[in-house]
Chain A
Amino acid sequence: EAGVTQFPSHSVIEKGQTVTLRCDPISGHDNLYWYRRVMGKEIKFLLHFVKESKQDESGMPNNRFLAERTGGTYSTLKVQPAELEDSGVYFCASSQYGQIDTQYFGPGTRLTVL
């Protein structure tokens, strides 16, 4: 079974540019989560999709971040315009809908904003 995949693995952009991160969850997983780890700090929740609906987006830092999950399959996270403080590792995780909500993580996308 293929795990959660994320693309790209690394992205280096300049301040003010736009970047789009992609996450492909495990097939059949209705739940999709985005997290971020800024250097020196804990991994923080950004948002949670159930299928194509946003269940919880309370962790989104500001309106420069836009997440979508059209069709309830893969998800994208767009940062526009990027700022220096957006640098970090962005993780995606997915889980099945059921009693045991084990979240399986992707390898992460390392974003560097110069």
Chain B
Amino acid sequence: AQRVTQPEKLLSVFKGAPVELKCNYSYSGSPELFWYVQYSRQRLQLLLRHISRESIKGFTADLNKGETSFHLKKPFAQEEDSAMYYCALKRGSTLGRLYFGRGTQLTVWP
């Protein structure tokens, strides 16, 4: 069975500090991993996906198959990064449902 775990429900950092949101998964096959973000009063939107290997808004995430992790990192957090972040998994690279973690609420203090 597949499962996504985000161990931190809440995470607070000061502006300019590095931030890392943890995501671990369990899945026996080759997953596709995503980070979705929901800013206050906005809809859930895709932040990045591991197959794109790109940096969005200064965030990066590397899929570590050995540790089954897909942690989201940003070297210098900004106040506008405050939001709810969800890690999600899809089985393989085909169409299909997303399996979400419970989310991490990030607050960046000025």
Contacts and interface: CB of A to CB of B under 8 A. Distances in A.
Contacts of B45: 104-105
A106 B44 CA distance: 7
B72 to A, nearest CB: 17
A101 B43 contact: no
A48 B91 CA distance: 14
A97 B95 CA distance: 8
Per DSSP, chain B at the interface is: loop
Nearest to A59: B97
A3 B43 contact: yes
Contacts of A99: 93
Interface residues of A, number: 27
Contact of B44 (A45, A97, A101, A105): A105
A31 interface: yes
> How many B residues touch the partner, as a band?
20 to 34
A103 interface: yes
A42 B101 contact: yes
Given A41-B102, A42-B102, A42-B103, A102 B46 contact: yes
Contacts of B101: 42
A41 B49 CA distance: 23
Interface in A1-58: 3-4, 31, 33, 35, 41-45, 48, 50, 55-56
Given A31-B95, A95-B95, A101-B95, A43 B46 contact: no
B25 to A, nearest CB: 13
B100 to A, nearest CB: 4
Nearest to B38: A105
Given A102-B46, A105-B45, A106-B43, A56 B86 contact: no
Interface of A: 3-4, 31, 33, 35, 41-45, 48, 50, 55-56, 59, 91, 95, 97, 99, 101-108
